Structure 1
């Protein structure tokens, strides 16, 4: 029903693990324009996005067999939701987290403008960087915030972290990893742009090699491709099928009901169909959304 008057309070939860993936900025701008007073209170009122480069890859498995080549089959073009707190032995943080982006939900127009910025991470230990883990904090009021950080023991049942897969780069302690973060109001994305190598020729004096950062980044590539070409084609093909299925569902209510029931079955009992649980849950969430 229509509101008798514009709302004084706007409470919303239109987030995914990457913060923007469910269109929160666009929905919020429309809601403020149509349903809320100009001075309406927003809950949450702001968000901060953090990122940390990780090593999260297959290495030697049972018997010493090297399975590193299989890492290119984990790729996807956007990001993957992963509960890093539940698999702490599977990943290695290679630098301290950095705050990447901030969003003031009272400033709807500013949030709609695309943003790109450069950030540097000082590597605290050696490893092979192949992912950027990201999470966010929602500021609920002046004193209360909700965090999805994997480093907080009191995170609770909030969103998982968003994992962005990157080209594998060999890092050494003291290296400075350069990255670009940007958002187009629909999603946040990351790209490695360069690498500076610490030069310890003079003890106690911080200096860096003269190799251009872009060239050093390429020289430190592990040799494992970011993605397998066949895997990418199959992924694109499946995405196309999903898009056609969603369009058909929207146009036919009976078809939508049948598809929704099937999606629920897939998500609740994937083992009965020989399917992967995270993919089934993701498919179900998209259909229900």
Structure 2
């Protein structure tokens, strides 16, 4: 803590008023120091605010101590979840020290942790501008930029074909008379600059992301076009005439399309643009200057699809094993990826994932020919409005090759104008990936020529949705998610083939068994499918426990686990005299993990899981029950945490953790900083000094030498 007491400096004023002020400042400074020594940071902060409001000439003298007080008080407010008070303190501090890079950087760090990444980027950027040599701020700015500047911006800007065709289409439209242009979702501003370079008189560009807006300002300025392009930091929905732009424009250019075409809101933004920002469209037979009517680039799109077999997609979206390192996954637990979840879920999530199919590991096999899903005319307002209310279309596609039905792959052809188009097909070298709709809940995924893949397609909640995928064969039909659970359903079936189909869909779990659908990220499903990963952890944990346990107990545990595969979490065959206090194992891996259950099969172990989602806890409880764990063998750490400072201290015991499991390596190879911090804040256990980082895991408090064959990517 800084330890200096500045003396109030007398200004030109004199008399009783100045003396009284100086006395109040001196008392407040003494009170602030007393509060700091007592670690009463909130009161100390209030005293410093009073001092600086009364004696701004002391700013340089108390700056360092004020910063320290602010940061410590902010930590307490953050721990108490007093977000508004925390932000209010920083706003007060920045009013007093508007050019303090350290305070700006700290404000950004708090905002970033709260999820306000755009705002955090602004403060980091300001800190770097104030002090280009401030390494902490530079590192923070680059980190948040990795979050906010999506990687596809770089790929898109490097897509020469895409840029050339967009440039040609915009140039053609401007040459034909579209002299006023609005760029919706400007990004870096490249389409706006195409329009200005083509000769447009008025160019407006709107961008919601503050980071991208500031980047676009820099890019436009670097190209000396800031005088000719008006950049707006807002949604197109919020643009008003004449408040933001003087009149309706004759051309809207946009590339607010994702792999599924509609996912970035192009339909909604264009409906609003046609109703409020664009000149009316050209009517049939109308001639004259193009400036008199409005149009959109791109003009239209055609969406295509294809059913495929792909092992890489399968392992990320379907759990294909019933046994993971000796742990049985029960039939009453159903795992799904977010892309497979229902449209009726509380949160609206993308109903698809994306892949670059031309580069997908292991390749893919086309099981059908490509087929047309739907078309959309972006220059037809009524058609755009009808998309969201239109009933789903039913499509049936003949199978041309036999194989495992894993997904429907979707792409589109973007028609920019009458002459120019862009395709996102897997066969094209393009910046876009393809949308992947994983297939799930079929009784049999094997299809063959003569079968038909049936599906329903629609545009709901701003997304292209492909639902109710089923297979119609020459003998019977198998519907995704269809279950016959009542006798009257069986009696209503006519043919023997239909009866077989119904029986294949019968639930195999007990009538009174609790059923649980567990939504996992695709990387979590891939990890669950990776038996090598879990066997590696099991071997490593066994090695640590063997080094910690008495030899006799280790032998007893090994014998017990071999003779009781279905109940190896128990130690009933070991005499009470030989059983010491159990070994405590904590798993702080991010997301869903069955590693604590695996640890529980290794003998006298009390495993703790740090999963946060209720559905994950219920699922782990069901898996524990199916593997005959004694009730409450598996504990959930966060249920015991009342004080955040106590994280990683084992509850109600002065004993320490035997093993802490950290799987901190992301699929990209980056270390998850939050998980490292989660472990580092503990002061309640000793860490062996020889800790080594072996991809993909670190296990503290013992050094585990995983064989290098386990060091490959798990995802």
Structure 2 residue aligned with 1:126: 402
CA contact (8 A) 1:25 1:108 kept: no
Structure 1 residue aligned with 2:87: none
* TM-score, normalised via structure 2 length: 0.28
Q: Aligned-residue CA RMSD in angstroms?
A: 3.6
Structure 2 residue aligned with 1:32: 274
Give me the whole-angstrom Cα distance separating, in 1, the residues matched to 2:404 and 2:504: 9
CA contact (8 A) 2:305 2:372 kept: yes
- 2:370 aligned with 1:97, yes or no? yes
Question: 1:55, CA displacement in angstroms?
Answer: 1.4
Question: 1:129, CA displacement in angstroms?
Answer: 0.7
Distance 1:144 1:195, change over 3 A: same
- 2:244 aligned with 1:7, yes or no? no
Give me the whole-angstrom Cα distance separating, in 2, the residues matched to 1:219 and 1:27: 48
Question: 1:229, CA displacement in angstroms?
Answer: 3.0
Q: Secondary structure at the match of 2:406?
A: strand
Structure 2 residue aligned with 1:189: 465
Pick aligned residue for 1:273 from 654, 672, 675 = 672
Give me the whole-angstrom Cα distance separating, in 2, the residues matched to 1:219 and 1:57: 27
Deviates more, 1:131-140 or 1:81-90: 81-90
Q: Secondary structure at the match of 2:418?
A: coil
Q: Secondary structure at the match of 1:229?
A: strand
CA contact (8 A) 2:312 2:361 kept: no
Moved over 4 A (4+): 70-75, 212-221, 232-235
Deviation string 1:144-175 (CA, Å, 9 cap, x unpaired) is: 111111023xx322x21011111252101221
Q: Secondary structure at the match of 1:101?
A: strand
CA contact (8 A) 1:179 1:193 kept: yes
CA contact (8 A) 1:171 1:220 kept: no
Q: Secondary structure at the match of 1:36?
A: coil
Pick aligned residue for 1:117 from 393, 397, 406 = 393
CA contact (8 A) 2:337 2:519 kept: no
Question: 1:89, CA displacement in angstroms?
Answer: 3.3
Question: 1:84, CA displacement in angstroms?
Answer: 0.6
Q: How many residues align structurally?
A: 222
Give me the whole-angstrom Cα distance separating, in 1, the residues matched to 2:408 and 2:367: 10
Structure 2 residue aligned with 1:48: 302
Distance 1:69 1:219, change over 3 A: farther
In proportion to residue count, which structure has more helix? Answer: 2
Give me the whole-angstrom Cα distance separating, in 1, the residues matched to 2:267 and 2:248: 19
Q: Secondary structure at the match of 1:32?
A: helix
User: Gaps spanning 5+ residues in structure 1: where?
Assistant: 62-66, 199-208, 239-265, 276-289
CA contact (8 A) 2:312 2:360 kept: no
Deviates more, 1:22-31 or 1:103-112: 103-112
Structure 1 residue aligned with 2:430: 156
CA contact (8 A) 1:164 1:190 kept: yes
In proportion to residue count, which structure has more strand? Answer: 1
Q: Secondary structure at the match of 2:260?
A: coil
CA contact (8 A) 2:401 2:449 kept: yes
Deviation string 1:202-236 (CA, Å, 9 cap, x unpaired) is: xxxxxxx3x35645877888x9xxxx83344979x
Give me the whole-angstrom Cα distance separating, in 1, the residues matched to 2:421 and 2:502: 40
CA contact (8 A) 1:166 1:192 kept: no
Structure 1 residue aligned with 2:320: 68
Q: Secondary structure at the match of 1:2?
A: coil
Distance 1:44 1:231, change over 3 A: same
